Amino acid sequence: MTAHPPSPPPDGGSWRQQTLQAGLDLLDQGLTVFDASLHLVAWNRAFLELLAFPSEMTRIGAPFEDFIRYNARRGEYGDEPEDEAVRRRVELALKFLPHDIERTRPDGRILRITGQPLPGHGFVTLYSDVTEQRRTEQALRQANLELESRVRARTAELQASNERLQEALDANEAITASLRRSEQQMRLVTDSIPALVAYFRRDRGYEYINRGYQDWFGLDPKRPELVSARAFLGPDVYEGIKPNVKRALAGESVTFDYELHTVRGATLSVRTTLIPDRAADGEVVGCFELTFDVTEQKQSQALIVRAQKMEAMGQLAGGLAHDFNNILTVIIGNLAALADARPQDQAVSEFTQPAVAAARRGAELIRGLMTFARQQPLQAGAVDVGALVSSVVRLVRPALPACLTLQAHAGDDAVWTWVDATKLENALVNLILNARDATPGSGRIDVRVRSAVLDGARAQALQLQPGPHVCVDVQDQGVGMDAATLARVFEPFFTTKRPGSGTGLGMAMVYGFVRQSGGAVDVRSAPGRGTTVSLWLPAAETPAELPALDEPGHVPDGARRGVALLVEDDGDVRKVVRRSLLDLGFAVIEAANGQEAQDILAQMDGITLLLSDIMMPGDIDGRMLARQARDRGQARQVLLMSGYAPGIDTLTDLPLLAKPFTTAELAAAIEELTT
């Protein structure tokens, strides 16, 4: 509030008037006197301070209406229209009635205004600032309300807890009574829980043990007083859990995991909960003890963590492999094109050959990674696992040193699964070679095939569906693996072998392939105790039509494979590829461009294989040709070859072989084609 000078003494005021004025100015309350015609007669300093009228307005004889109008204009009466506000107030004042109102000024201050008529008409008005007073009152009211509600809530809480207490007391009494009545019953119950249940006192002496203690530690449940935790757990385990017992006896419920050994020599992962038992005065007098076997739970948790890790690595490897594959395709393609372009140039081939060879080794690694990442297409079919294992063992045996015995145990009955036979063979070869590497000197490797029905728990542990499975175990008696190696055995590029002798991709590929086939791999190993790798695959029905047995290593003779149409504009390349096709048992027709090939396709039935270059002079490129032939059924199989990679991504619907290729690679590519 702005300070105002003392109100000017009325003009020509006597000292008496001046004294009176000085007295009025000392008042805290504002004061005005209007005469019967509503003109200002007197006022004081507090009035000016409280209402802040301009000093030129406050003069003797100033009309009441001027003050009202001034107020209305500065918003003291809210939204009320000015004329209306003035008229109403002047009319009211002229009635000269006592009044007592409160008004909040626009600046938030609250004014109390009381008016008293004067005997000879006119009135005196007092103005007091009651802002603080009202605010304090309001705060007080609020505080009272809050207090009341808090008291109400607290009362309700107290009532509720009283009731609970009463219930608990009742229940306790009932329990105590019923326990007294049936301690036998309690023993029956605790003995039937597959857990250890016990009670020990503050001094750590046991008062109760259930039958679990008999099963695990050979203790007599009827003689709890003979039990000592240090004795049945062994000093090492006991020292480990001692701090937990201390905490429980200090009044805290504690749960902790540890390993213990049973009388039968088993090592179990267990979880114990200790709950303090308090006397009425709150003193801890003993502890309830509950111990569960969580071995299986822990194992399956570890499996899940590992599966998640493998999943993440698979995604990473898959992404990398895809990109590198494209890069290598470009490198190999361009090197091949360079070699094609300068077939006679000794210097060129001297540089390109090692480069191509290195790039192909890279591509080989990438293929392994893609198998791990489950990105290699599978050619699944019904496979008799026993027969496959026997033939793999026959093939691999000559590659092993004579001091190693390799034996298949397949049984007589066929066991079927639905799997990519070639990839399963590769997986088994990998496992057998690992077993060989792990067995220094002489020893034996056994490959067993068995049928097994997985129950819920076992299936879950392997992350498989319960039901019939085929299992192949590859077992060696070699050096085995420690826990750290075992934990990483499936990681791509993890190897403990000398640089150059292991890629670390073998187990990763086995894992990827088996998982992609809906199966699981399980490895059991310990240092010095050998290793058993088990491949679990879902069992399949015996197929209605038995698949024809392919004689391994058989090379077809004559034109047994049918007729191949070879389309290639480069005569030299055509010559080389033609030789390969002949070696593979095809009769070969040649065409030098798309147009020529189209004519041949239109005139000739029974073409088995169309093998075409992509880039050729003329209007028809290899891609168009191959699509047409396929869509019109003019060739049973189509295969493109190219030295250039750039178009590869648009070619996803047509199989493609990168040039240059060996006869074996051409054979494999044809094998992959589905008719």
Q: Please, what is the minimum distance in Å from the beta carbon of residue 444 to ligand ADP? A: 13
Q: Which stretch binds ligand ADP (CB under 6 A): 122-130, 406-414, 491-499, 558-566?
A: 491-499
Q: Is 485 in the site for ligand ADP (CB under 6 A)?
A: yes
- Residue 434 or residue 532: which is nearer to Mg ion going by CB? 434
Contacts of 430 (CB under 8 A, 6+ apart): 506, 507, 509, 510
Buried b (16+ CB within 10 A) or exposed e, 555-569: eeeeeebebbbbbbb
How far apart are CB 432 and ligand ADP at their closest, in Å? Answer: 9
Give the residue, chosen from 438, 462, 626, 639, that forms a contact with ligand ADP under the rule CB under 6 A: 438
> Do the bridges between strand 99-104 and strand 40-43 make them parallel or antiparallel, or are there none, so unpaired?
unpaired
Number of H helices and E strands in the chain, helices first, is: 20, 22
Minimal distance in Å, beta carbon 446 to ligand ADP?
Answer: 12
| Distance from the Cα of residue 216 to its chain's centroid | 38
Q: Are 624 and 657 in contact (CB under 8 A)?
A: no
593 vs 550: CA distance, rounded Å: 36
The size of the interface with ligand ADP (CB under 6 A), counted in residues, is 23
Window contacting ligand ADP (CB under 6 A); options: 180-188, 216-224, 363-371, 429-437: 429-437
Q: Is 467 left (phi over 0), alpha (psi -120 to 50) or beta?
A: left
The verdict on 114 binding ligand ADP (CB under 6 A) reads no
Site for ligand ADP in 497-516 (CB under 6 A): 497, 502-508
Q: Which is nearer to ligand ADP, 184 or 501 (CB)?
A: 501
Assess 434 for contact with Mg ion (CB under 5 A): yes
CB closest to ligand ADP, residue no = 506
List, in order, residues 6 or more apart from 338 with CB less than 8 Å away: 348, 352
Q: What residue 508 binds from ligand ADP, Mg ion, none (CB within 5 to 8 A, per partner kind)?
A: ligand ADP
CA atoms within 13 Å, Cβ hemisphere of 665: 12
What element of type H or E holds 453? strand 443-454
Give the nearest distance from C-beta 452 to ligand ADP in angstroms.
Answer: 21
Q: Report CA torsion sign: 477, 482, 483, 486.
A: negative
- Give the binding range for ligand ADP (CB under 6 A) out of 123-131, 168-176, 345-353, 474-482: 474-482
Pick one of Mg ion, ligand ADP, none as the site partner of residue 495 (Cβ within 5 to 8 A by kind): ligand ADP
H helices of 229-345, in order, are 229-233, 235-249, 295-341
Closest Cα partner for 101 from 111, 89, 93?
111
Q: Is 517 in the site for Mg ion (CB under 5 A)?
A: no
Closest distance of CB 482 from ligand ADP, Å:
10
**Cα–Cα dist 307/493, whole Å:** 17
Closer Cβ to ligand ADP, 362 or 502, answer by number: 502
Q: Which stretch binds ligand ADP (CB under 6 A): 188-196, 201-209, 306-314, 476-484?
A: 476-484
**536, 510 in Cβ contact below 8 A?**
no
Q: Which of 349, 451, 496, 595 binds ligand ADP (CB under 6 A)?
A: 496
Let me know: does 561 contact 663? Beta carbons within 8 Å: no
| Partner whose binding site includes residue 72, from ligand ADP, Mg ion, none (CB under 5 to 8 Å by kind) | none
Binding test (CB under 6 A) with ligand ADP, winner from 229, 435, 537, 566: 435
Angstrom CA distances, 664 to 108, 424, 490, 558, 580, stand at 97, 20, 29, 18, 9
Q: Which one of residues 274, 421, 489, 565 is an interface residue with ligand ADP (CB under 6 A)?
A: 489
Contact segment (CB under 5 A) with Mg ion among 74-82, 232-240, 428-436, 439-447 equals 428-436
If the CB atoms of residues 436 and 574 are measured against ligand ADP, the closer one turns out to be 436
| Contact partner at residue 494 from Mg ion, ligand ADP, none, CB < 5 to 8 Å by partner kind | ligand ADP
C-alpha 496/C-alpha 476 separation (Å) is 17
The token pair at 349 is 């081939």
**What are 212-220's contacts with CB under 8 Å, separation 24+?**
212/291, 216/260, 216/262, 216/263, 216/268, 217/262, 217/263, 218/263
Binding partner selected for residue 445 from Mg ion, ligand ADP, none, CB under the kind-specific 5 to 8 Å limit:
none
Q: Is 506 in the site for Mg ion (CB under 5 A)?
A: yes
494 binds ligand ADP (CB under 6 A): yes
**Does 495 participate in binding ligand ADP (rule CB under 6 A)?**
yes
Question: Judged by CB under 5 A, how many residues of this single chain contact Mg ion?
Answer: 2
| Least distance to ligand ADP, CB of residue 497, Å | 4
Closest CA to 336 of 364, 357, 362, 363: 357
Which residue, 273 or 496, has its beta carbon nearer to Mg ion? 496
Tell the residue number behind the tokens 């010559």, with chain if given.
575
- Tokens standing for 672? 């992959």
641, interface contact from ligand ADP, Mg ion, none, CB < 5-8 Å by kind: none
Helix (H, G, I), strand (E, B) or coil at 174: helix
- Give the nearest distance from C-beta 501 to ligand ADP in angstroms: 7
Q: CB under 5 to 8 A by kind: which of ligand ADP, Mg ion, none does 539 bind?
A: none
Stretch that binds Mg ion, among 264-272, 295-303, 327-335, 434-442 (CB under 5 A): 434-442
Looking at residue 206, its amino acid is Y
Residue 258 or residue 494: which is nearer to ligand ADP going by CB?
Answer: 494
Q: Which residues bind ligand ADP (CB under 6 A)?
A: 430, 434-435, 438, 476, 478-481, 485, 489, 494-497, 502-508, 531
Q: Which residues bind Mg ion (CB under 5 A)?
A: 434, 506
